[in-house]
A and B are shown apart, each in its own frame.
Chain A
């Protein structure tokens, strides 16, 4: 259990304490990851199914490594080549998987609400690895972890999320989690990419990048998906990068020296971020990848491990 939750689907439903529970545990998990022998028996005998209906390399690999470091058996079930292409419904797929008795199903799906739908129909825990434009809770948590690790806390900090907010599940999870941890969150992008009512989720809306990043402690640059061009949300990547992309000149003029740059990956180099910024001193993008494994270990541990039954059992005991 993570606080009151048997599933990890939406950070909107999580309290500040529940978010901190995962982040604090992820610290210990990161320590495990840095050991020479990266294996603890915590989830031995448990099984985790990665059910991916959308292609994903890093998130799926991250969950897979997280499960394996904790000694859980991880099975990858992807939509290509599976029964999904034969017209099986999500519910049937889930019921079939469930009959194999997994402890956790990690699901990624293009339809918002698909993990919630699964959670209603299976008995095991469901972890969302991203659903449509709804939420990507583990990404939101790892972004918070990364900022916290560098800056100590999110309390009183300003975080700016830049890009296609409308279609971004990362933006929504970041907004919920960072807001609950005390940060003020700004969103920035062309008006075609800012959804109605995003301010009601606590965001301050900007269209001008310079003012949006002024004084920010961290900037999350979202990936511009090529299929959005011609939707038409923007005329093209050239103009987008000119007004909403970060290059080294803008970064040095507009950002505070200690400002962090995050990106959920994969980066479109030259569109939202120029290479020198992506690989430059502000960037914590590779930290995010490492922290992602630690955060996902914490989630799996809390939902399937000793934490699932004996709430608050320290991980050190289990990993000793």
Chain B
């Protein structure tokens, strides 16, 4: 007999099909069987009461650092996947800056094997743009794709050579792989600890200017024009980047972009307010208010396609240091929904667009399955309580690390159930 689950009474938001209304989602044998308006539940079917909640496609994160292989003390594929499903993410793209980096099929296969063993979120490896992320020569894109990589990135490190970037954009076209890039002109950026501006001046911290990101965005947009390669801009953080992107898209360049929950909701003032708390230190750094406004506008009007977390776990001893000495990066998977929902409450973003930016949009960018509740699709589903208030207690996080700027804060909105392939892999308070 087939296994059937009725997710009943929830507000189904499925931007891929344009649906937003109270429906019952029927899951059968791991797939979406039907999204129905009025339906009688047979006695043998199980029920999940979603009244007062949102039922959406499982979130897809194009940008997470799962740290395995090599830095398992920060995170593993399994612990990262556990954090993902706790945050409503049913798929995460694993960045290749592992030790060793994912520039070869052995690492790709290891990540996939670990993900399969964990059986939680789907994990899509991202391969390196350059061998060893050294920015010198091309990695083997064909083999990486054959092994399961869905995109290429030297994330954390910009591709400084415009000649290599040009060849990478060209060569990746042969395999239809997008290049996801961290834009930072390292000579201009220098050694920095936060955004350059009045707050850095007050705190006496060395700043990096917005233009260190923008000149690289402009360079790569020009290279896309030259090559026709597929470019995805990671974690955009400045108003100038949004302006350049908007102009490029108007011209029809094949460029997409993501923004993180923290860049969309926090400013560099937090570094001062928190008294140099290193959980507000990341790359790119938190910027100014005008940048946050521009990112929100860009996300709302579709210039920025999607939200990605840049989930970057670090151990306590790498963070509990002088601000200058602490590593860049913060957790993101378990707080993304609540952080982003604040934008909806503040009127910056519609509920439908928020869900789209976490589901259908990322699926489209990397060509991933999921991101919709269409009949026959794998039943990757998030059930979200948009009114649930909770305190971000770092001890209760599923990640191996604790480096979140939302620690101790009251948050509103939380994932209560997550299904991957129809299996309940997370239930809030359910212990799993």
Contacts and interface: CB of A to CB of B under 8 A. Distances in A.
A91 B317 CA distance: 10
**B contacts with A: majority SS:** loop
Given A196-B196, A196-B197, A134 B203 contact: yes
Contact of B321 (A91, A131, A135, A172): A91
Given A132-B204, A134-B204, A112 B198 contact: no
Interface string B265-295: 0000000000110000000000000000000
Given A90-B322, A113-B322, A133 B198 contact: no
Nearest to B205: A112
Interface residues of A, number: 27
Contacts of A109: 322
Interface in A222-248: none
Contacts of B275: 113, 116, 120
Interface stretch (A30-38, A197-205, A291-299): A197-205
Contact of B203 (A91, A112, A166): A112
A201 B201 contact: yes
A12 B198 CA distance: 14
Contacts of A12: 202
Contact of A112 (B276, B317, B321): B276
Contact of B198 (A117, A134, A200): A200
A111 interface: yes
Q: Most A CB atoms within 10 A — which of B201, B275, B276, B324? A: B201
B323 interface: yes
B201 A131 contact: no
Nearest to B201: A195
Contact of B324 (A132, A196, A201): A132
A294 B202 CA distance: 27
A309 interface: no
Interface in B291-341: 317, 320-325
B101 interface: no
Nearest to A9: B275
Interface in A103-145: 109-114, 116-117, 120, 131-135
Contact of A117 (B196, B199, B322): B322
A84 to B, nearest CB: 12
Q: Most A CB atoms within 10 A — which of B202, B276, B323, B324? A: B202
Given A113-B275, A113-B276, A116-B275, A89 B201 contact: no
A197 B323 contact: no
B207 interface: yes
A40 B324 CA distance: 40
A86 to B, nearest CB: 15
B201 A111 contact: no
Contacts of A114: 322
Q: Most B CB atoms within 10 A — which of A117, A120, A133, A200? A: A117
Nearest to A116: B275
A172 B204 contact: yes
A263 interface: no
Given A90-B321, A113-B322, A113-B323, A196 B207 contact: yes
Interface in A161-186: 166, 169, 172
A246 to B, nearest CB: 25
A198 B207 CA distance: 13
Contacts of A135: 204
Nearest to A231: B190
Interface in B227-251: none
A11 to B, nearest CB: 12
Contacts of B202: 12, 172, 197, 200-201
Given A91-B320, A111-B324, A197-B198, A116 B204 contact: no
Nearest to B199: A197
A111 B205 CA distance: 8
A90 B320 CA distance: 9
Given A91-B320, A113-B275, A113-B322, A197 B204 contact: no
Nearest to B316: A91
B234 to A, nearest CB: 25
A114 B193 CA distance: 13
A43 to B, nearest CB: 28
B204 A169 contact: yes
A113 B203 contact: yes
A111 B198 CA distance: 18
A304 B202 CA distance: 28
A197 B276 contact: no
A133 B205 CA distance: 7
A114 B326 CA distance: 12
Q: Most A CB atoms within 10 A — which of B200, B201, B204? A: B204
A105 to B, nearest CB: 15
Interface in B319-374: 320-325
Q: Most A CB atoms within 10 A — which of B202, B207, B320, B322? A: B322
Contacts of B205: 112-113, 132-134
Contact of A131 (B197, B198, B204): B204
Given A89-B317, A113-B275, A196-B197, A133 B204 contact: yes
Contacts of A116: 275-276
Contacts of B203: 112-113, 134
B54 to A, nearest CB: 39
A89 B197 contact: no
Nearest to B196: A196
A282 to B, nearest CB: 29
A276 B317 CA distance: 51
Interface string B173-213: 00000000000000000000100111111111111000000
B204 to A, nearest CB: 3
B420 to A, nearest CB: 40
A172 B200 CA distance: 12
Nearest to A120: B275
Contacts of A111: 322-325
Given A90-B321, A113-B276, A113-B324, 13 more contacts: A12-B202, A90-B322, A91-B320, A111-B324, A113-B203, A113-B323, A117-B323, A133-B206, A134-B203, A134-B204, A196-B196, A197-B198, A197-B201
5 contacts: A89-B321, A112-B204, A117-B322, A133-B206, A196-B196
Interface of A: 12, 89-91, 109-114, 116-117, 120, 131-135, 166, 169, 172, 195-198, 200-201
